[in-house]
Structure 1
Amino acid sequence: MAPLPKACIIGAGCSGFTTAKKLKDLGVPYDCFEMSDNIGGNWYYNNPNGHSACYQSLHIDTSKWRLAFEDYPVPAGWPDFPHHSQLLQYFHNYVDHFGLRQTITFNTAVTKAERNAEGLWDVTLSNGETRRYDVLFVCNGHHWSPRTPEYPGHFDGVAFHSHAYRTPFDPVDVRGKTVVVVGMGNSAMDIASELSQRPLAGKLIVSARRGVWVLPKYMNGRPADKAAMPPWMPRKLGLALARQTIKKTLGAMEDYGLPKPDHEPLEAHPSVSG
């Protein structure tokens, strides 16, 4: 029998360790490298690798019914939308339950990966070692690299990306200050909602290039993302009905003092916020 291919997995966040689980199930040999000292990636609050965008008050906006791994149920007593610390513990429990931790090499980053003349992958590690693999899985996520626009002019105040936000007092104490949150994505809505509480920011302004649909976490008393189209329903019809329901339930965004969206619900990634 021909030997099985050997794989390299970059990262031990939820994509990395679930890839490792599947390869282990299939008996495919692999190495998994994680630059930090533990698993969790973006959901590892104050991750020492500096790449986590997790803030102290963060609750995931995907319900536990949607985020659960198919081979490991979420705890029955969880709230519908868990806190980041619960999600990280769930990840740890998953990794330990399936015996994956001993297959992960921590405190080791992949600094370079390139195909050689044979079509294999030469992977260079932060310790200077280079190893050869048949298959490469890049599971390093996409929230670790903040994208900050460049604005003309000069600003004397404190400016930072939401990636650096931890609490209303870190990295800057916002009490009594005028705060501008740029954008209307999920992080923007979370942070704006938190800082606009009366004891915190003196004035909170949200700046956006265009309006978006801000969807609630609950509709009709149930987590909104539990709703699903019947498998027999044509996608076009299902989307039309979903949009009609959203508009009927929420009304116009302008009624909340928000700019009018230039698109239909579900045509773009929605922001989820109560």
Structure 2
Amino acid sequence: MELPEIPREPEDAEKLICVIGAGPSGLAALKTILDTHHFKKGLWKPTVFEARQEVGGVWVPAAPTDNPPITPLYESLTTNIPHPIMAYTSFSFPPSTPLYPKAVYVRKYLDAYAEHFQLKQYIKCRTSVENVERDTTSERWKITLNTGKTQFFDLVIVANGHYRVPRYPDVPGSKEWLAKGKASHSAWYRRPQDLGKTVLVIGAGPSGQDISSEMAKYATTVIHSVTDSPLGQTGNIKHRGRVSELKNSGEVLFEDGTSEAGVDYCIFATGYKMSFPFLSEDIIKNQAQPTIPPLPDDLYNSTYAVFPLGKHIFPLHPQTFPSTSLVFMGLPSKVAPFPLVEAQAQMIVHAFAHPEVLDPTIESVDIVTRYEDLLSKHQANTNLVAKNWHAFEPMDQFDYRDDLYRFSGVPITSQEWEKEAYLNKGILRQFWVNLERNGVADDWVRGVGEGGIQEWVELMRRMIKEARDEGVLADPSARL
């Protein structure tokens, strides 16, 4: 395969950079761009386009009036990892912040990050990107905005997030329940309310766990459906396996042959689809990724993954644009997100300045190797390969971050305390819940962090030790 030749330009050429989205990924990208000598010399000129009225992305609350809602943020949401390992490495949460903060703390943190690094002057709020296309004449990206204006850019950083378009399970009867108002997606959920005596919640993720617990305070019975879950009951929450059919009568059938009658309402906490409505089919194909090898020349969005991307960032083998001129941020899941996108941003700006560092052959081998490993792990189920393509095993995220920094020439490596805290996040969370229940959580964190990050490290290690001494175990239903 013959790859497009990357034109060499003078080192002092002016470049315009477009960032789509001012959520956690877009903010990290902008801050990293402003740190470069290219920006400080006036050569790189970034603009961030944000559809909403302020920075913060998914962490900015909004009523569920849009279809789909502009954010799925519900009122009780807290982080599912401790903030010292969730935070950007360049900017800590304020001292005394609850170890597992509510969304309002994260929103204020992101706004403070933008203020501290003077990012807001480069962000155009209430401005959305409607279309991105390659202009073959100028060999630049033509961006069409909701204002009707068009602008041209040399680099486009896609950081629009992936918690907007609801994913619904392919379950017989689900469309009928939705049409009759007997079901909704968790994207519309904000707080528990009376939805009937018996409520079904489908989904094993954080929202499914939270909503099940909250709805149990209003419903007589909550049925929580999780794939391969053993039958059981905790209080008035019944644990059931995968749903096989939702019947018009209100009966729910499960794959294990059991059933539940008289279900009044169903909440689908079944996740979200990756969506890039501003990218046309000639840039990314919205269909299942093909089996490999060989790697395809085209880029695919299966709604679970973008494929194939070098380092989960760079399109490989595009025929009409350089791989380092259109990039994707924040796709990996089951990770500590903010420090990960910081590392991605460093790799992006380095590869944009030095495109030769991205070796398509090495990246192709890495992709094929990962594909074969996932194929073996999931018994040759290509659908599961796509679903898990960007999902990282716990420690892989740290190797990934270190790899990106190494390629970028940045002397940053992940710390052992980060790994220790991440591996013990379940015990830490349960211990924190116990502290909150006993009314002493604020006492534990009061003043912590005033002397630097090491105070948070010492606190978490103390919590882990005391939890083990007291025999505290991670709640099996905890949001991990």
TM-score class, shorter-chain normalisation, is 0.7 to 0.9
Equivalent residue for 2:156, pick from 127, 131, 136 = 136
Paired residue type of 1:93: A
Residues 82 and 220 (structure 1), Cα distance of their counterparts in 2 relative to 1, 3 Å cut: closer
Return the offset for 1:12: 0.6
Q: For residue 55 of structure 1, give the secondary structure of its aligned residue in structure 2.
A: coil
Aligned partners of 2:161, 2:133: CA distance in 1, in Å?
A: 19
Return the offset for 1:216: 3.0
1:221-247 Cα offsets, whole Å, 9 max, x none, are: 589xx8xxxxxxxxxxxxxxxxxx9xx
| Aligned match of 1:23 | 33
| Aligned match of 2:103 | 84
Q: Are 1:168 and 1:195, in contact at CA under 8 Å, matched by a contact in 2? A: yes
| Structure 2 stretches lacking a partner, 5+ long | 1-10, 231-424, 434-456, 458-467
Match status 1:41 vs 2:57: yes
| Aligned match of 1:167 | 191
Aligned partners of 1:220, 1:145: CA distance in 2, in Å?
A: 31
Paired residue type of 2:211: I
TM-score w.r.t. length of structure 1: 0.74
> Which range moved further: 71-80 or 113-122?
113-122
Q: For residue 15 of structure 2, give the secondary structure of its aligned residue in structure 1.
A: coil
Aligned partners of 1:70, 1:152: CA distance in 2, in Å?
A: 46
Residues 221 and 209 (structure 1), Cα distance of their counterparts in 2 relative to 1, 3 Å cut: closer
TM-score w.r.t. length of structure 2: 0.44
Return the offset for 1:30: 0.7
1:99-137 Cα offsets, whole Å, 9 max, x none, are: 111211011110000122143211110111111100000
Residues 31 and 162 (structure 1), Cα distance of their counterparts in 2 relative to 1, 3 Å cut: same
Aligned partners of 2:479, 2:81: CA distance in 1, in Å?
A: 11
Structure exhibiting the larger radius of gyration computed from Cα positions = 2
Residues 52-201 of structure 1 mapped to structure 2, 5 A cutoff: 52-117=71-136, 118-153=138-173, 154-155=176-177, 156=180, 158-169=182-193, 173-174=194-195, 176-197=196-217, 200-201=218-219
Aligned partners of 1:151, 1:42: CA distance in 2, in Å?
A: 28
Total equivalences in the alignment? 228
Q: Are 1:51 and 1:145, in contact at CA under 8 Å, matched by a contact in 2? A: no
Return the offset for 1:6: 1.3
Return the offset for 1:272: 3.7
Match status 1:5 vs 2:24: no
Structure 1: 4+ residue segments shifted above 6 A: none
Q: For residue 47 of structure 2, give the secondary structure of its aligned residue in structure 1.
A: strand
More helix by share: 2
Residues 258-273 of structure 1 mapped to structure 2, 5 A cutoff: 272-273=478-479
Paired residue type of 1:138: V
Return the offset for 1:142: 0.5
User: Over aligned residues, Cα RMSD in angstroms?
Assistant: 2.9
Paired residue type of 1:18: A
Paired residue type of 2:73: C
Residues 233-244 of structure 1 mapped to structure 2, 5 A cutoff: none
Aligned partners of 1:217, 1:90: CA distance in 2, in Å?
A: 25
| Aligned match of 2:48 | 32
Aligned partners of 1:94, 1:44: CA distance in 2, in Å?
A: 14
Equivalent residue for 1:216, pick from 418, 423, 426 = 426
Residues 218 and 66 (structure 1), Cα distance of their counterparts in 2 relative to 1, 3 Å cut: same
Residues 36 and 217 (structure 1), Cα distance of their counterparts in 2 relative to 1, 3 Å cut: farther
Q: For residue 53 of structure 1, give the secondary structure of its aligned residue in structure 2.
A: coil
1:151-200 Cα offsets, whole Å, 9 max, x none, are: 3234345211111100013xxx33x5211000111110111111113xx1
| Aligned match of 2:357 | none
Identity of aligned residues (%): 32
Aligned partners of 1:183, 1:89: CA distance in 2, in Å?
A: 29
Paired residue type of 1:6: L
Q: For residue 124 of structure 1, give the secondary structure of its aligned residue in structure 2.
A: strand
Return the offset for 1:150: 4.1
Aligned partners of 1:24, 1:222: CA distance in 2, in Å?
A: 37
Return the offset for 1:217: 5.0
Residues 211 and 120 (structure 1), Cα distance of their counterparts in 2 relative to 1, 3 Å cut: farther
